[in-house]
Amino acid sequence: MFVTVTANPSVDRTVEISELVRGGLHRASAVHVHAGGKGINVARALVRNGLKARAVVLAGGVAGEQLIALLGDYSIDVVRVAALGPVRSNISVIEPDATVTKVNEAGARLSAEETQAFSDAVLDNVSDASWVVVAGSLPPGMTDDFYAGLIRLLGPSGAKVVVDTSGPALRAAVKAGPTLIKPNLEELEEAVDHPLWTLRDVVDAARELRALGAGAVLASLGSKGAVLLEADGVWHAEAPVDARSTVGAGDAMLAGFLAAGGEGVNALRAGVAWGAAAVSLPGSMMPCPEDVRSHPVQVHEKLDWDRPIREKPQ
């Protein structure tokens, strides 16, 4: 069983338009509405591929009712923790070249009692978990060390813990010793507090986070694929994509990585294949087995260390 933890879920609305013009009137060519939040996306991807997932979510207000209703379209074991404030709404505007403009709400402020109830609900639902996925931003009212404290409390359960978050919450969580962390390029740069230009920079940053306490680092690099750093090696994998929407692609990649065992080259290959499949789908739709193609994935055991990951400003 995979258990996902989403403290700050959302109702995600993705709008497709021909071109984004600041101050202009836009008519949508398509609109997609999904239950969102990193942990929920991971759970959606897992169950679409025949695996069992339980999602522990905070859900309040009318939007919370909509979120739970949307999750009813999936075979997810949903553990709803009540909250007084409403679930946030996130909007993504996508242009034909897959450029995404996002507007994410912060989420409702939680009380100390709601925070404790959420932590208790997680601990009460991990007895059969092989992996616990702690993912997404923290809502107002939760301290930056919430995930770190949760990781320590999960220790006796025996479950492996993966963290996918950003900023101070990621730095604090790393020091609690998670099995795996999955930052994207921007989150990795924020964690080490300097820009990363090449594959060598990415690997060095991942090594810095391993030295702080992370067991392994799976760094998603957008169109440049992903880097996996473990105790016994480092690999880079990539796949060609026909991009339609990048929303949730990193979550699909993490789901594929965990579904394939959560370590090593085969898991990296699967993760990149799932991520590439997600990019080809509309909105934040998660791929199913028919969407995933592993054969185009290239895994490099000898890295091109000086390969650019992003362009340096002139």
Which uninterrupted H or E stretch holds 59? strand 53-59
d(CA 138, CA 281): 27
- Most distant pair of Cα atoms in the chain: their distance: 55
Query: How many CA atoms are closer than 13 Å to the CA of 285, on its beta-carbon side?
Result: 15
Catalytic residue among 251, 291, 304, 306: 251
Q: Does the active-site annotation cover 251?
A: yes
What helix, strand, coil percent values describe the chain, rounded to 5? 35, 25, 40
User: Quick one: which of 14, 72, 10 has its CA closest to 47?
Assistant: 72
Which uninterrupted H or E stretch holds 180? strand 180-181
**189, 195 contact by CB (below 8 A):** yes
Residues noted as catalytic: 251
